[in-house]
Structure 1
Amino acid sequence: MSRSVLISGGCGFLGSHLVDRLLRRSDLEKLVVVDNLRTGTRDNIAHVADPRFDLQIADAESFSSLQRFDEIIHL
């Protein structure tokens, strides 16, 4: 079963390590990271070149998507 995961704050120190870990999962179909880059940086995830990964620069409070997520991790 394929899973879709949303992480808010995924460009921070902890979030970027979580992104690396989640992309190792074989059941992961889509990983969306929402970050406003106030405390995180693109440099933390610059090495990610996985087609399942999608970065959205936005505040978590204003982010909206028609996609449904199986897991949401708020950092």
Structure 2
Amino acid sequence: MIVPPEGELQFSLSDEAWIDVVQDGHAVKSAGFSGVKTCPGIRKSVRFKLSAGPATVQLSGAKKADLKVAVLTPE
């Protein structure tokens, strides 16, 4: 994916899984997260502060075969 100039992205997942972002060959530490087991549709959200340019998003540890992902630019 290409990160916009604003540099912060939020990834929201429909179920449990790990979200990792790699940029310039290094794992990026999350800038914040939230999770609610009782919220239908969104189980977890994680924010990352990134540099503009390419980044790789890695999802792992999903407990279900299908996982919905939303990528947002937080306001």
TM-score, length of structure 2 as denominator length: 0.29
Which structure has greater helix proportion?
1
TM-score, length of structure 1 as denominator length: 0.29
Which structure has greater strand proportion?
2
